[in-house]
Structure 1
């Protein structure tokens, strides 16, 4: 089920989704029916135009803006928490490190989590498994925090495959230590989906967002196609929120 969900997500989101629709449009243009040919032409044009728009920074920032709804955590909010939880954001095989290591998104989260831990002296939990094989991300996160940032990690969760399991598998570790209030570290666009999942486990969650993307854009660079990263992440979060609502409604 997990792999099927990942496959469907990949096929729906850009760039694969719009490109597949464009190919469908081109295939429909071979029809004997003029109506189907015209429909196929418009489908191909709109799909490719949509892909171009999604690659513009101004569109990516606009999609991100509703997701980045939480401000940076304050000192008072941080002191109210009993622990800091850092969510994994991906890993990869790096021969220069002799094996798997954390990806750029995870590294950003770890850097900010280490900063908060030094400020507050709160214990740290890191969470992330190995859904596609290799070393669990939680272990890689712990190694990075302790070896590169000099910050000790108290709990390591290594079996989760997604954000839902990050929450359901981390909560027992925290509750066993009497922890009920956490500061949750992740990208600002990820927290609107992650917070309810941790709250559902009976935890009081204070958002600790980082790496904000939305904001003012400088023209004309904001209109120049420069990649699908922001748009894809935003659409992924909207899709994830929709999936969680449908699952809860059943």
Structure 2
């Protein structure tokens, strides 16, 4: 079987991403420190405690909220902005490969949050919808699963299906082609609020005018049950992972432009 360079690069980026993000990165620091203790006790203990501190910081609501504040900057889209858009673009966020109740694969909960908001906007505006997401795993592209969810579960028709992309930059580049061919230059971009800075930059670089339509805030006023609890917990740890993921993604995007 011939090696697909794009897919190989995708999995390389995924592997590196896992190693430099929580929970793996702090755990590796702790393990490295403990292994160093027999030879250099002070340095090893410092490294191990650094890993523990990083774990706590990236799962504590106050510090996680601070990380999110620099990402979740786009406001809720208003009626005036909605009137300027020509189409709605909703980005994939992954899938559940084992979903026997749906007959195989389906979108994951992150994608479902985006699809729900996109469906609401589509009903409000009557704008055509583009879904974007490829197939890094399994045989079914995310965009196909997104189309099924929108049309069968939300009763919202999908006009364009972009099913070749493997990351946010490809989402933008590959989606821009059918949109421009249809005369669309101004889009409502639907994705998570924390993902919006990276997604907006990518779509603007692809030549589209972006009206941000963020959803699913993880921090900020009103997040309540997501990040604003006082003690570390699984929900704030997830939000910490998401924030680190997006900051690293922004860094990689700027280094590769």
* TM bucket, shorter chain: over 0.9
2-structure distance, mates of 1:218, 1:42: 35
**Does 1:137 find its partner at 2:142?**
yes
1-structure distance, mates of 2:181, 2:123: 24
**Does 1:14 find its partner at 2:18?**
no
**Does 1:54 find its partner at 2:62?**
no
CA shift for structure 1 position 218: 6.9
TM-score between both structures, scaled by the size of structure 1: 0.94
The corresponding residue for 1:167 is 172
The corresponding residue for 1:79 is 83
Check whether the contact 1:84–1:117 (CA below 8 A) recurs between aligned residues.
yes
**Aligned length in residues:** 243
Root-mean-square deviation over aligned CA pairs: 1.4
1-structure distance, mates of 2:95, 2:224: 32
Moved over 3 A (4+): 216-219
**Does 1:30 find its partner at 2:34?**
no
Check whether the contact 2:29–2:50 (CA below 8 A) recurs between aligned residues.
no
**CA offsets, 1:78-98, max 9 Å, x none?**
110100000111111211211
**Does 1:4 find its partner at 2:4?**
no
The corresponding residue for 2:232 is 225
Tell me the secondary structure at the aligned position of residue 186 of structure 1. strand
The corresponding residue for 2:6 is none
Q: Once structures 1 and 2 are overlaid, which stretch shifts more, 71-80 or 45-54?
A: 45-54
CA shift for structure 1 position 213: 1.8
Instruction: Give structure 2 stretches of 5+ with no counterpart.
Output: 1-8
Instruction: Give structure 1 stretches of 5+ with no counterpart.
Output: none
2-structure distance, mates of 1:218, 1:205: 29
1:230/1:27 Cα in 2 relative to 1: closer, same or farther (>3 Å)? same
Q: How do 1:1-250 and structure 2 match up within 5 A?
A: 1-31=9-39, 36-93=40-97, 94-216=99-221, 222-227=229-234, 228-248=237-257
Tell me the secondary structure at the aligned position of residue 107 of structure 1. helix
Tell me the secondary structure at the aligned position of residue 223 of structure 1. coil
TM-score between both structures, scaled by the size of structure 2: 0.91
